[in-house]
Amino acid sequence: MDVQIIDLGKQTIEEEIRALNRLKECLDESFEKAVKLILEAQGKVIITGMGKSGLIGKKIAATMSSTGTPAFFLHPAEALHGDLGMVEKKDLIIAISNSGETPELLAIIPILKRWGNKIIAITNKRDSSLTKYADVSLYLNVDKEACPLNLAPTSSSTATLVLGDALAVALLRLRNFTPENFAMFHPGGSLGKKLMKVADIMRKDLPIVCEDTPLKEAVIVMSEKGLGSTLVLDKDNNLTGIITDGDLRRFINKGKSIDNSLSKDAMTKNPKTASPDWLVLQALELMERHNITVLPVVEDKKPVGIIHIHDILKSGVI
């Protein structure tokens, strides 16, 4: 193992950590003003920047959009050739330029300013041309790139990315963005699936018998529904028990007869249950902890659904 190569990696990381600490130290009321401007915006947040700043801008736009702040990225060069038509006067602009002198940005920012768009600048130069057009300027305070040539955007691009995350998270908190909101914006992704609710996957065609139903009839119900279990209700339709394949085996092993027994004789009383608004992962944790494969879903003691471990596997949550 070449220790020198590892040291080079560590030096780069340490240099970028130092840059982030400088960014943290200089965060001031301008950050608060920027967040309030975004909250007050009646339109979308449009993020623009060239080169590495543009790549970071795309990520910031994606993070904001997925956490409750509608945003998209506008390439400044394309904006000069027609894409400015995507911008409405009520939109807010976040312009990113390390030098604050990016020609493509300075070609479109004055136009947007004349239209009345509010502009937030993210730059590493306090007295740059970009800051003169901005309503609020956020200063990166990076004095040196991690690149040993001090040329390739490294510390500055990292600081920009983290500042964008800080904006997005502050907005998320102030908008009271919930896990349910997050799941709504991520229906097809693994993150959204982890926020799936029990109500989304539970079966509603329930295997049900009464406490006094002959046990042999309960066995037929279990077979028909194909879940290897049936729910047992009292006279008020409240869930009082469950009969599973395992319950039947244990019942027979004790020398008891299916032909001469009632459902309540073989059921597990007061079974573990889930609520429809539980996360599927909560239900899974309960099932694993108690080594069960079928879980009734109840509201006000009455069954409204049932989930099998196979349903969870099929959902893609795990």
Helix axes 215-225, 245-253, angle to 10 degrees: 150
Answer whether 306's CB lies under 8 Å from 294's CB: yes
- Cα–Cα distance between 287 and 268 in angstroms, integer? 15
| Residue 120: closest CA among 85, 95, 98, 140 | 95
Residue 175, amino acid? R
- Token pair in block for residue 310: 């196979």
**Binding site, residues?**
75
**Binding site for Zn(2+), residues?**
75
User: What ranges in the chain are assigned the alpha helix state H?
Assistant: 3-26, 29-40, 51-66, 76-79, 103-115, 129-133, 155-174, 179-185, 190-194, 198-201, 215-225, 245-253, 263-266, 280-289, 309-315
- Cα–Cα distance between 193 and 195 in angstroms, integer? 5
Within 10 A of 240 (CB to CB), how many other CB atoms are there?
A: 19
